[in-house]
Structure 1
Amino acid sequence: MAERDDPEIIGRRVQQLRTELGLTQRQLAEPAYTPAYISTLEAGRVRPSEPALRHIAQRLGVGYEELATGRPTGFATELRLRLTGAQRTLATGESETAAAEFAKLLADAERHGLTAERADALLGLGECALETGDLETAQRRFAEAEDALGEDAPLPARVPARRGRAVAHYLAGELRYSCYLFESTLDELNRTGMHDPDALLLLYSGVIAPYMDMGAHARAAQAAELALALAPQSGDLALVARMHRSVARTMIAEGRTDEADASLAKASELYRRLQIRTELANCHWMRGYLHAQNGAYERAETELREARRMLSAKRAALYHSQATVELADVLHRRGKSEEAAALLHEVLTDLSPERGALHSAAAHRLLGIIAEDARDTESAEEHYVRALSLLERAGAAADLADLCRLLGDLFRRTGRVEAALDAYRTGLGHRTAPGHTTLGPAPAQPPV
């Protein structure tokens, strides 16, 4: 039977509409029903059949859906169309406008008791908060979206909210907890036989970034292989594009630059076709990183400046700050250290240990290198120590090992041999045991 309100609510609604029209119970009932039946129905003592409700709705001049649920006819369909519109607004990068649209949709869905639409509106608000860098709000909205669906909802339906939470914790620098959310969800999907291709693709693509930053490169590569194998089974082009962008990072780390460039080209083409501007900007960002790894700094600068322009124009604040750190690194390598330092000091006002911790650490690391080049060892040490604190909190093993090497070199050059040895030992400790996540064994694999 289709969704409808409780008999008591329907009864009160029928009585109110009948009274407003000035109809008696007999006039409403004829010719198919009796006044006594209408009286019993209005008292909420009987659950009316669908034919009875359709008869009464026709006599009252309202739609069946409005009488049965209190919602105007076609309201749920209209709400879905508005959700699609808000998602399109977000895709173009207008996160503030999209957030206002999702907030209105959330209120409407709650007022009319539409559970799935309420969850989707909360999911949209979480994505808006991610783009603007309000990670605490993002975590809360994604958790509310999952709660709205309830534990009875199939796990694949809850995966987008779970993935959103994991990404928000990752951006906040909580790498281990992010991996825990990704891995535990993957395990539950695969071990229970719920091999939903889109859900799995979303998770395997998402877990690559925290794996890479933790130094768990083997797991990242495995996740990339599984994502590539799942992609042909997905009909979601935006999801496939995201997969190509994520997988490119593992290819860059393995020195497969041509394959990485091809993956980024595929992602960019899909994002252009879908008009998803923020993700297209992130492709420019990743291509800039790729060129920088190959020593093509001029091309890298061009790509990263384009990424910053697009992200700034669309108010993707946190991503803009992160791309700025990458650009500053390229500028420093090109001998433009003053401009690089200015950008880094500017961006550090937008980053914090709870918001972009990894890129905040990268900014301090680069400022330390620039200070060393200027023979300002005191400032260099200060920046390195700040970066070390941020990376230790996040558990970014590979970056920690590199930073310990820089700090050890600084101590050695300034005659502090014991401190240098301690820094080198600490770095070796991080380098020899990278990639530990919360669950230990890698998550189960789907049959692909």
Structure 2
Amino acid sequence: MTTSDLVGLRIKTVRRQRGLSQAQLAHPELSDSYISLIESGKRTPTPAVLELLAQKLDCSLSYLVNGVTAEQMEDLELSLGYARLALENGEVSEARTRFSELLANNNLTGLTALRQDAQFGLALATEADGDLSQAIVLLDRLLGDDLAPERRIEVTVALCRTYRTSERLTEAVEVGEQILGGAVRPVWSDLMVELGATLLAAYLDRGDLLRSRQFAAELLNAADTLGTPRSVVAANWNAALTALYTDHGEEALVFAERAMAVQTEHGEPRNTARMRLALAALMLRTRSQDVSTARDLMRRALGDMEQTSAGVVDVARCKIEIARAEIMAGNLDQTIVDAAEGLSLLPATAPSVGLEGDLLLSRAFGATGRFSEAREHIDRARDWLEPIPDARRTAGAWYATAETLELLGEGEEAVGAYQRALACAGL
């Protein structure tokens, strides 16, 4: 049924409940034939007519328009607000439950915008809870709905990001390019730059370095034109990643620090914590002498994450990056504690993070002479790695695995892992 059909049916139902004829409802402002056309769905009443009919029928305008009373609408909006607040406060399981309960409410059926808000919220809560496969299902289903242009971009950003986190890089690129690679691209906006940044990260992970450099420059130009904090942060941060991947470490830090400065001043806490962690990880890779500074930034990021809606994958990644800083500082026992804590939180849908954690544990156990435990974790690292499609990042992971095997005295297996790294790199 169309919206006009539903509105007409509600008017007819309430009129009959009130014991009124069409002529009685129409008199004196309207004609009974006009009421008949409205009730049959052949005419769409203007807002003024709807308000008049609501007064004459002694019912709420909200009921005629949406099929719910004003009180029911208020309850729905309040429930949505509570669900969003739970997500913002990091109570992701609670948020997931609240969004699910809201979507089970029959009063939501005819409220398209409110229903889509709840569906998107449930998808984000599911992603934050580490259930990436289900988050992808929810986001993909929502994209099949009739979405407003801005909401469609928001959902595409989330879907591209979730595919990338799940190592489904081809799908991440495809979904991002549906908007950014189309014949008619929407004008640049904060959301479009954010989508571009997410797509750029997938290009980098897949090893498309030439495309990445070109696209990073395009995003920087778009952000400079917009001049908004959100676009500046997204463009500069991903320019930093591009510089890092193309072996321009100091240039990467310049872009990253610029993004961090703007994010700290204007950004919301969850993303600020994520960026602080990423900046610290970048420091470890480009300025190893600053390991103490990087570690302090990571621990600050972890504290912030635990107070926000950061998901379990974010928290697990943070603990594992802290473990990396500890092993670089020579603190092997603390490395083991932090990496193990990170892995204990990690869902099976984030293999690249799990791989890093098990590699660190293997090296730390090997360095302390606990070779059986070291062997157990290098085997787990390979279990994480095997299903991941070959790509530039996969080549680096196989190389790190080969180095770890070599440190453990597993020369023959190390050779096989080095060969796999070369194959992933196309050599």
Shorter-chain TM range is: 0.7 to 0.9
Where does residue 117 of structure 1 map in the other structure?
Answer: 114
Where does residue 293 of structure 2 map in the other structure?
Answer: 299
Contact 1:110 1:118 (C-alpha < 8 Å) held by counterparts: no
Cα offset for 1:357? Answer: 0.7
Cα offset for 1:361? Answer: 0.3
Where does residue 343 of structure 2 map in the other structure?
Answer: 348
Counterpart AA for 2:331: K
Where does residue 238 of structure 2 map in the other structure?
Answer: 246
Where does residue 368 of structure 1 map in the other structure?
Answer: 362
Change (3 A) 1:69 1:380: closer
> Aligned partners of 2:99 and 2:229: how far apart in 1?
23
Residue number among 387, 393, 402 corresponding to 1:393 in the alignment:
387
DSSP-derived class of the 1:47 partner: coil
Cα offset for 1:373? Answer: 1.6
Change (3 A) 1:334 1:27: same
Contact 2:291 2:329 (C-alpha < 8 Å) held by counterparts: yes
Counterpart AA for 2:205: D
Percent identity at matched positions? 22
Counterpart AA for 1:255: H
> Aligned partners of 2:355 and 2:346: how far apart in 1?
9
Contact 1:120 1:145 (C-alpha < 8 Å) held by counterparts: no
Where does residue 318 of structure 1 map in the other structure?
Answer: 313
Contact 1:318 1:356 (C-alpha < 8 Å) held by counterparts: yes
Residue number among 368, 378, 384 corresponding to 2:378 in the alignment:
384
Cα offset for 1:367? Answer: 1.4
Q: Confirm whether residue 182 of structure 1 aligns to residue 165 of structure 2.
A: no
Q: Confirm whether residue 263 of structure 1 aligns to residue 262 of structure 2.
A: no
Count residues in correspondence. Answer: 419
> Aligned partners of 1:29 and 1:240: how far apart in 2?
57
TM-score (norm 2): 0.81
Cα offset for 1:201? Answer: 1.7
Contact 2:15 2:25 (C-alpha < 8 Å) held by counterparts: yes
Where does residue 44 of structure 1 map in the other structure?
Answer: 40
Where does residue 144 of structure 1 map in the other structure?
Answer: 141
Deviations 1:106-159, CA, capped at 9 Å, x for gaps: 467962523343223322222222222221231122122212226xx65x6523
Deviations 1:171-206, CA, capped at 9 Å, x for gaps: 223334333333454323xx3344454454233211
> Aligned partners of 2:69 and 2:225: how far apart in 1?
38
Counterpart AA for 1:332: I
Contact 1:377 1:410 (C-alpha < 8 Å) held by counterparts: no
> Aligned partners of 1:387 and 1:218: how far apart in 2?
30
Deviations 1:47-67, CA, capped at 9 Å, x for gaps: 365376554334224465643
> Aligned partners of 2:91 and 2:22: how far apart in 1?
53
Deviations 1:330-387, CA, capped at 9 Å, x for gaps: 01111111111122222222224x3221010001111121133234445434433332
Deviations 1:210-255, CA, capped at 9 Å, x for gaps: 3333444444333322221222455764454344333332234433
Where does residue 337 of structure 1 map in the other structure?
Answer: 332
Residue number among 6, 31, 47 corresponding to 2:28 in the alignment:
31
Contact 1:139 1:168 (C-alpha < 8 Å) held by counterparts: yes
Counterpart AA for 2:399: D
> Aligned partners of 1:269 and 1:251: how far apart in 2?
19
Where does residue 441 of structure 1 map in the other structure?
Answer: none
TM-score (norm 1): 0.78
Change (3 A) 1:345 1:125: same
Where does residue 231 of structure 1 map in the other structure?
Answer: 223
DSSP-derived class of the 1:149 partner: coil
Where does residue 158 of structure 2 map in the other structure?
Answer: 164
Counterpart AA for 1:323: C
Q: Report the more deviating stretch, 41-50 or 354-363.
A: 41-50
Q: Report the more deviating stretch, 176-185 or 93-102.
A: 93-102
Contact 1:408 1:419 (C-alpha < 8 Å) held by counterparts: yes
Counterpart AA for 2:114: E
Change (3 A) 1:272 1:231: same
Deviations 1:40-81, CA, capped at 9 Å, x for gaps: 469738536537655433422446564344355799899889
Cα offset for 1:297? Answer: 0.7
> Aligned partners of 1:216 and 1:255: how far apart in 2?
16
Greater RCO, CA 8 A, separation 6+: 1
Structure 2: segments with no counterpart, 5+ residues = none
Contact 1:93 1:278 (C-alpha < 8 Å) held by counterparts: no
Q: Confirm whether residue 286 of structure 1 aligns to residue 282 of structure 2.
A: no
